[in-house]
Amino acid sequence: MLTYDLTTLSGPVYKRIYELIKRDVETGELTANSKLPSKRAFAKNLGVSVITVENAYGQLVGEGYVYSLPKRGYFVSEMETPKKTRFFSKTPIPSIFPQEAPSADFDFSSNQAEPEHFPFSIWSKLMRETMAFRKHDLLTVPHRFGVDELREAIANHLASFRGMRIDPQQIVVGAGAEYLYGLLIKLLGVDLVYCIENPGYLKIKQIYESAGATCRSAEMDPHGIVVDELKRMNAQVVHISPTHHFPTGITTPVSRRYELLAWANEEEDRFIIEDDYDSEFRLNGRPIPSLQSIDVNEKVVYLNTFSKSLTSTIRISYMALPVRLAKRFYQKLSFYSNAVSTFEQYTLAAFIRRGFFEKHINRMRLHYVKKRAIILKMIEERLPKDRYRIIENDSGLHFLLQLETSLSTKDVIEKLREQKIKIKAISDYDAIAKRNDLRQFIVNYSNLKLEGLEHALDVIRKTIDVQ
């Protein structure tokens, strides 16, 4: 008589019986066409009710593990799949993910927003209001470009903050900048030659190449990406951050911007993707006009995200397309559903429309000005004046720390890692790796912990003193 120890599994009794018989069928312990015990006899042997066994058999029949014949009983089905032995294996399955680097006690490279400064009270209030008063809207499929209220709020924000005249119909809301990069490739075409800044944010290159597009890296000079490099590489689409380049911090002057627009105007299928990722945080003076605002020939796609100004976990970004590209997007890609939750879209729309976003930006800008001053003062106090140089401009949330040492950049990074301090260098973002070892390191201060900075700077001082 077939018997099982039902204490080896948890859950309803019928499900335990089902799981045990299923296991034996899959592993071949119960052979094809062999007869199973009658419901009554099996129930008596296991000490359960007949209905419990009947439910287990019914599930097995429904999934094809067992078949029944009128007045003859239940039989094991023939299984076409190979016998499985994984159920009995005690060998642990190796991780499919590569081993992560050891965690650091102090991190100069984190570019996340400080969680304690997120406006939780206002955001939760607006979310409650959204759920209370927009029930119908929340459960209605939004426009594929994003909900109207959010696109209107973004258009108004761009007009007041960046001097951009954008119709809400030109704005596409997406689930993060990387998602929008993918849509742009589909919109512009995978057969074009894309170009990014070098050094630059290498993930952009990975996204373009993973989509099957050709992506090349163009060198920069002190004014930004070199236009002659674009011509030499036969580029058709260039992806740049002219307001505050990462990682060099370069702000592209207006003369170079007009050079770029002239390059784009030479050919019909040339476009510029302006990635304005942290333009809200120009810490001194007025914001520099966007490249899109001086484009009169519909050559610039403007792209921005709320990951710096609010938090990266919201995963809301947007792009403003030239009118002809917006029409092409609608004609070519309108089958895509919008990937951002309507709950968050309506909440963010209210956050912007009612002035909370502007207040938050002003508050955070003041906070970062003070924080940067404290960090620069601590560097001045802890590092010898002849052993470092600060390279910065008045924009963005990072600056460069150039160290004077006989150690290579790689050696500095490794020695600091041994002390559980994480830092990245310009060379980490160099796709060509032909430049001299500049020993320039990136200090992202948006999420830098001041309480551990003195110790980290002391470690840096001792490290660069090593000859």
d(CA 58, CA 51): 10
Reported as a single tens digit per residue, the pLDDT across 410-451 is 999 999 999 999 999 999 999 876 666 889 999 998 889 899
d(CA 327, CA 164): 19
Residue 87 confidence (pLDDT) above 60? no
Reported as a single tens digit per residue, the pLDDT across 160-218 is 888 899 999 999 999 999 999 999 999 999 999 999 999 999 899 999 999 999 999 99
> Structural domain boundaries of the chain?
6-88, 106-111+362-464, 117-354
What is the chain's percent helix, strand, coil content, to nearest 5? 45, 15, 40
On average, the pLDDT of the chain sits at 89
Reported as a single tens digit per residue, the pLDDT across 261-282 is 999 999 999 999 999 987 777 7
| Fold annotation for 6-88 | Arc Repressor Mutant, subunit A (1.10.10)
- The confidence band for 97, taking pLDDT boundaries of 50, 70 and 90, is low
| Fold annotation for 117-354 | Aspartate Aminotransferase; domain 2 (3.40.640)
Q: Which CATH architecture has domain 106-111+362-464?
A: Alpha-Beta Complex (3.90)
In the prediction, which pLDDT does 289 show?
82
Residue 2 confidence (pLDDT) above 90? no
In the prediction, which pLDDT does 261 show?
97
d(CA 33, CA 20): 17
In the prediction, which pLDDT does 90 show?
53
- The confidence band for 283, taking pLDDT boundaries of 50, 70 and 90, is low
In the prediction, which pLDDT does 284 show?
66
In Å, the largest CA–CA distance within the chain is 96
**In which element (H, E) is residue 107 found?**
strand 106-107
Q: Which residue has the tokens 């380049």?
A: 245
Residue 132 confidence (pLDDT) above 90? yes
d(CA 385, CA 392): 17
Using CA of residue 445, residue 317, residue 343, residue 339, what is the dihedral sign? negative
As a whole number, mean pLDDT of residues 336-360 equals 94
In the prediction, which pLDDT does 433 show?
67
> What is the separation of C-alpha 191 from the centre of its chain, rounded to a whole number of angstroms?
25
d(CA 48, CA 50): 7
- The confidence band for 342, taking pLDDT boundaries of 50, 70 and 90, is very high
Reported as a single tens digit per residue, the pLDDT across 63-86 is 889 999 988 999 999 876 554 444
